[in-house]
Amino acid sequence: MKRSWTCLAEEVCRSCGGECCRDAHPPISPQRRSILLSIGCPDTVFEDAGYTRLKCRPGGMCVMCRDGRCAIHDHKPETCVSGPFTFDRKDGMIAIYVKKEEICPLVRYLKEDPGLYREQMRVAVDHIRRLFSDLPPGEMEIVLSIPEPATDLVTVLPLEGGAP
């Protein structure tokens, strides 16, 4: 039987040690902030860097990473749900990228399973579109200016629309 995305991600991410949660600083929309406050996250986990984001602890790990796991897994920010896919904007469209295998071991397993790959990309596009919709435009401009090295372009899609 094929593994589910959740089982696969748990297994691979555990052995990776949650490297993408180091210096992650995921952007937090007003809607996401309300959700996180409503489930008991203290306001002190957020910081303003021109956009609202989650803090990292000294040493660099995301403030929400506890014992190698995400403490807000069911409510985590859009960029975290979307991994290992990431994004940029190109001519008013969303460019979807996937991280290179050497920085994210999960990518190899995804590429070996086209069905899982398509499903995770669909989830990623959905969440990235939501982030474009929810994040104040000035904050999104700052997020888009952050370089994202070691990625490969996958596709370019409209800002709104159906499943890829």
User: Which candidate, 23, 128, 123, places its Cα nearest to that of 65?
Assistant: 23
Residues in the chain: 164
Q: Does 94 bind ligand SF4 (CB under 6 A)?
A: no
Q: Does 77 bind ligand SF4 (CB under 6 A)?
A: yes
Q: Least distance in Å: CB of 71 to ligand SF4?
A: 7
List 27, 29, 84, 125, residue binding ligand SF4 (CB under 6 A): 84
Whether the CB-CB separation of 95 and 88 falls below 8 Å is answered with yes
Q: Least distance in Å: CB of 76 to ligand SF4?
A: 5
Site string for ligand SF4, 2-41 (x = CB under 6 A): ----------xx--x-xxxx--x-x---------------
Alpha carbon distances (Å) from 83 to 21, 37, 38, 68, 103: 11, 23, 24, 16, 12
Q: Which tokens in the block code for residue 150?
A: 């070691």
Q: Which tokens in the block code for residue 12?
A: 């691979």
Residues that bind ligand SF4 (CB under 6 A): 12-13, 16, 18-21, 24, 26, 54, 62, 64-65, 70, 72, 76-77, 80, 83-84, 104-106
